[in-house]
Each structure stands twice: as structure tokens, then as C-alpha cells.
Amino acid sequence: MSDVIITLTTDFGRREEWAGIVRGVILSINPAARLVDISNDIPPFDISKGAYVLAAAVPQMMIGIHLAVVDPGVGSGRRAVVLKAARGDYLVGPDNGLLLPAVERLGGAEEAYSLDNQEFFRTPVHPTFHARDIFGPVAAHLSLAVAPREMGSALDVSELVPAPWDRARLGEGALYATVIDVDRFGSLRLNAYPEQMTNIGYRMGDKVMLGIGEEELKAPLVSTFAEVEAGKPLIYEDSSGFMALAMNGVSLAEWSGAQPGQIIIIYTP
């Protein structure tokens, strides 16, 4: 297991030294580890964005160890945890909801542990850099086949801090979704999934009635941007398996003013 991949998702940025230090600490424990940066450009403190990026990325990768740190509560009483997913992956990070959407997409959490065995930490632990002193070393030791139960105390999964967002919910006559991310092109990524669209009666090519704030619009359910004219809206499954709203060649976020947290109403046909 020593050459397993260890992914890194953080809000540390590329200008600062922090992500590089964490990588170096991991390699000092397991020089054979293969490190993959998912993103170190999560907006500072944005747990919801970090959760989306992690959940979008890890199902598309080989089974591995996924280290994620967007941790505004670092140094407080929040727990440091490792989760074992049904697929076989380990997720390491703060217990603030960041890891839960990803572990759900990996089949759910089979085991959870609160990291409290300092034998596997870099000591002394600095109160503002748990990524270097706790999460990185734990990820490295996991890659060397150290069992998580040796590094911490078992938790009931129900004790974990909830995810920053859940699946879209079905209400009377509509599916109520939330914008969980706005990408660089202004597309709105939703906490809705293709099977939910099917379950409420939509099929490919159907016109979908949507409510975005004070605006209502119809958008076809399509596979590609090219299926609609320039400047026209569409709803589609994005490459990571989430439903998304967009305009062809135009920022829907700018047009609508929608931001993460905005409720999108998907009316039933």
C-alpha cells in the first residue's frame, strides 16, 4: 500500500508555502507515496466549495487516501477525523462537514475515528497548522497500512458534524435544489442528481421550468451546450455527476445574480 495515491484539497493557495510543506511532511514519512493535488485554491474558509470539489473529484480517481483541509476552526475543540468509505478509500480532515459529501459518493462511511493518538502526529502540534502536524502525518501512516483504529477512537458516523449541503429535496410540485458551486464559466452546480430529475418525470429533451429568485425560465434538459443557441439556458448533468444550470456562452450567475446557497426550484412537469 506504500505507493497508494494521497490527494490534497485545501484553501492554502499556490502563493504560500503551506501546501508544499504538507506534501513534504507526507513524503518524509512515506517517500513512495504518490501525491495528487485536487486543488489548493479553494476560497479561504469556504467549507461548502471544498466539499463540492472533493465530492466531484474523488469518485473519478482510483481508491486512495484523500486529505482535505478547509478548516476555519483549526485550534478549537473541533475533532480531527479519518473516515473509511465503503469503496475502500480513507478521508482525512477536520470534522466540519467537509468530508461527508465525498464519502457519500464513495458509498457512505463504514467507519469513523477521532484522531487522538499523538504517536502518529508531528510534534509538537502547532495550534494553527493541523494539516502539517496531524492530517498529513496520519494520511502518510495510512498509506503505510497503519490501521485507523491505532490512530484514534472509534466514532459513530451519526456523531459527525453534518455536511454543508444535502441532496435536493422533493416538495409539493417541485424539487428544491441549492446552488452548491458557481464555476469559472458562471454555471450553477446543484445538489440535485440525474436520477432525481428522472424520478420527478423529466426525460432528455424536455423543457424544464425553473425558478431562480424572482426569475422564472424554461431550459431544455440536454447533454451538451451545443444543443442550445448562444445565450440560451440549459440544464444538464455535469462531468462529475451533478445537475447544473448554464447559459451557452454566457455567465448564468451574472445574468441571474445567483450565488452559492441560492435556492433553485425545479417544477415538476
Name the domain count of the chain.
2
On average, the pLDDT of the chain sits at 96
107 shares its domain with 134 = yes
Q: What is the pLDDT of residue 77?
A: 87
- Examine the domain organization and report whether 126 and 191 are in the same domain: no
**Could you tell me if residue 58 is left (phi over 0), alpha (psi between -120 and 50 degrees) or otherwise beta?**
alpha
Q: Which 3 state secondary structure label does DSSP give 156?
A: coil
Task: Please check whether residue 164 lies inside any domain of the structure.
Answer: no
Range 1-10 burial, b when 16+ CB lie within 10 A, else e? eeebbbbbbb
**What is residue 2's predicted lDDT score, i.e. its pLDDT?**
64
Based on the fold, state whether residues 205 and 95 are members of the same structural domain: no
Q: Is residue 210 part of a domain?
A: yes
For the segment 128-148, what is each residue's pLDDT rounded down to a tens digit?
999 999 999 999 999 999 999
Q: Which three cell numbers stand for residue 108?
A: 457512505
Instruction: List the domain range (segments joined by +) for residue 215.
Output: 169-267
Assess whether 178 and 262 both reside in one domain.
yes
Residue 243 has phi, psi (to 5 degrees) of -75, 145
Q: Is 113 in the same domain as 233?
A: no
For the chain, residues with pLDDT lower than 50 are none
Looking at residue 161, its pLDDT comes to 97
Alpha-carbon 24 to chain mean position: 24
Residues 96 and 228 in one domain: no
Given this model, what pLDDT does residue 132 score? 97
Residues 33 and 138 in one domain: yes
Q: What pLDDT was estimated at residue 3? A: 74
Do both 23 and 107 map to the same domain?
A: yes
Mark whether 180 and 112 lie in a shared domain.
Answer: no
Residues 147, 194 within the same domain: no
CATH number of the domain to which 217 belongs: 2.40.30.90
What pairs with residue 264 in β-bridges?
177, 212
Residue at which a domain ends, from 159, 192, 223: 159
CATH number at residue 98: 3.40.50.10790
